[in-house]
Amino acid sequence: AIILGIESSCDETAAAVICEERGLLSNIVASQDEAHSPFGGVVPEIAARAHMSKIESIIDQAITEADVDYIDLSAIAATSGPGLIGGVITGLMAAKGLSVSLNIPLIAVNHLEGHALSPRLTEDCAFPYLLLLVSGGHSQLLSVQGLGDYTRLGSTIDDAAGEAFDKTAKVMSLGFPGGPNVERWAAKGDDRAIRLPRPLLDRDSCDFSFAGLKTAVARAFEASDQSDAAKADLAASFQRAVSDCLVDRTERAMKAFKQHRTGPYRFVVAGGVAANQTLRDSLNNTAQHHDFQTFFPPLEFCGDNAAMIALAGLERLSAGRIDTLDAPARPRWPLDGDSARTAPASG
Ligand code: ATP
Ligand code: MG
Ligand code: FE
């Protein structure tokens, strides 16, 4: 089977072609960073327009680079949520059009399932595994039992981890997108220079909270001399605080995951924030300590891409799970629970 995947849920317009026998054949990602940069964050209206103007040529490019023809495709997979609704509609409508004209199945993919399966693009990462999903809009710990079979162990009660990185960068004017810029500045700073809170560490759950940390960063920056050295120290201290929170919650989740299972134990870190090397190092240490083998997707598959959507499409097609043309675009769509497929948007 050959699947075309389409991703347009945030500020990346992306298309990819995956082949069951030959693997990933193409992976095109057009970032809109330049368009959003002046605003220090993603502007939904600008994102929707950019997706509309680029989607056709990005899809064409993915087909050309894969060296296949449209008639070779077995199915079309597109992100149908969660995300910014204008973008999601754009990608989903393009997919529906192709599905009708080529007379092949449509697969409406949950963007978060794409992130969840992303390590399987490059590694033999078998189910079940513990998943730490840390992205621009989500921070969750999930047990992944199989395709479409997810149990949430914990999630953020306020901001997502990526959001905290983006806001920290904005407060100190480090540039957009925030994550990579904070990481760059943090490398030059002392991570013990500034004392920041570690919310919820004493809680008996796997939930996260990052809103308090963001406020503390803003206050600390205002109180500082706002020099480059102060920025670097604050970025490093912030990154360390996020790392401590992720590690603590992950340890708790690892204990829960192991409770009714025998090994080998696998641990996946996915989503844009999984690109962060400091976080990778600490989480890798934690995993080793608790007898888990760690899987990090390569950097190009951490942030938004269509390869992971195409893979989710391929796995769904193989399992016979295709969708009908009335599949809705969903601004919200939790990954866990079978509400994920049938219930109206919620949570
Ligand atoms: P979601 O997947 O929850 O719908 P999204 O698709 O916008 O949200 P991703 O594209 O998966 O999120 O990730 C983007 C986020 O990852 C941004 O918040 C960005 O700052 C963060 N990020 C990217 N690189 C790094 C890094 N090196 N360190 C920390 N954060 C990073
Ligand atoms: Mg982006
Ligand atoms: Fe994402």
ipTM here: 0.98
Is residue 137 lining ligand 1, measured as CB closer than 6 Å?
A: yes
Q: Which of the four pLDDT bands, split at 50, 70 and 90, describes residue 260?
A: confident
Instruction: Return the ligand number nearest the Cα of 335.
Output: 1
Q: Which of the four pLDDT bands, split at 50, 70 and 90, describes residue 345?
A: very low
**Distance of alpha carbon 324 from alpha carbon 319, whole angstroms:** 15
Torsion angles phi and psi, residue 16, rounded to 5? -150, 155
Residue minimizing CA distance to atom 2 of ligand 1: 135
Six-digit token string for 111: 């963007």
**Model pLDDT for residues 288-315, shown as the tens digit of each residue:** 999 999 999 999 999 999 999 999 999 9
Helix (H) or strand (E) holding 28: strand 23-31
**Atom from ligand 1 closest to the CA of residue 165:** 20
Helix/strand/coil for 257? helix
| Ligand 1: centre distance to CA 274 (Å) | 8
Q: What is the pLDDT of residue 337?
A: 66
Is residue 303 lining ligand 1, measured as CB closer than 6 Å?
A: yes
**Distance of alpha carbon 290 from alpha carbon 251, whole angstroms:** 8
**Atom from ligand 1 closest to the CA of residue 304:** 10
Q: What is the pLDDT of residue 34?
A: 93
| Ligand 1: centre distance to CA 224 (Å) | 27
Mean pLDDT of the chain: 95
Q: What is the DSSP letter of 123?
A: S
Among residues 138, 142, 144, 162, which one has the least CA distance to residue 154?
A: 142
| Ligand 2: centre distance to CA 91 (Å) | 16
Six-digit token string for 85: 């609704």
| Ligand 3: centre distance to CA 42 (Å) | 13
Six-digit token string for 120: 């399987």
Is there a binding annotation on residue 304?
yes
**Distance of alpha carbon 234 from alpha carbon 178, whole angstroms:** 14
**Model pLDDT for residues 220-238, shown as the tens digit of each residue:** 999 999 999 999 999 999 9
**Model pLDDT for residues 118-161, shown as the tens digit of each residue:** 999 999 999 999 999 999 999 999 999 999 999 999 999 999 99
**Model pLDDT for residues 161-195, shown as the tens digit of each residue:** 999 999 999 999 999 999 999 999 999 999 999 99
Is residue 166 lining ligand 1, measured as CB closer than 6 Å?
A: yes
Q: What is the pLDDT of residue 343?
A: 35
**Distance of alpha carbon 251 from alpha carbon 25, whole angstroms:** 37
Is residue 87 lining ligand 1, measured as CB closer than 6 Å?
A: no
**Beta-ladder partners of 107:** 77
CA 48 to chain centre: 19
DSSP track, 297-333: --GGGTSS-SHHHHHHHHHHHHTT--B-TTPPP-S--
Sign of CA dihedral 300, 304, 310, 315: positive
Answer whether 138's CB lies under 8 Å from 150's CB: no
Residue minimizing CA distance to atom 1 of ligand 1: 137
**Atom from ligand 1 closest to the CA of residue 271:** 11
Long-range pairs for 179-187: beta carbons < 8 A, 24 or more residues apart: 179/272, 179/273, 179/275, 179/276, 180/275, 182/235, 182/238, 182/239, 183/235, 183/239, 183/276, 183/277, 183/278, 185/231, 185/232, 185/235, 185/236, 186/232, 186/235, 186/236, 186/238, 186/239, 186/278, 187/236
Among residues 236, 225, 246, which one has the least CA distance to residue 194?
A: 236
Mutation pick for ligand 1 pocket among 42, 115, 139, 165 (CB with most ligand atoms within 8 Å): 165
| Ligand 3: centre distance to CA 83 (Å) | 8
Among residues 18, 19, 46, which one has the least CA distance to residue 34?
A: 46
Residue minimizing CA distance to atom 4 of ligand 1: 137
Among residues 228, 293, 231, which one has the least CA distance to residue 263?
A: 293
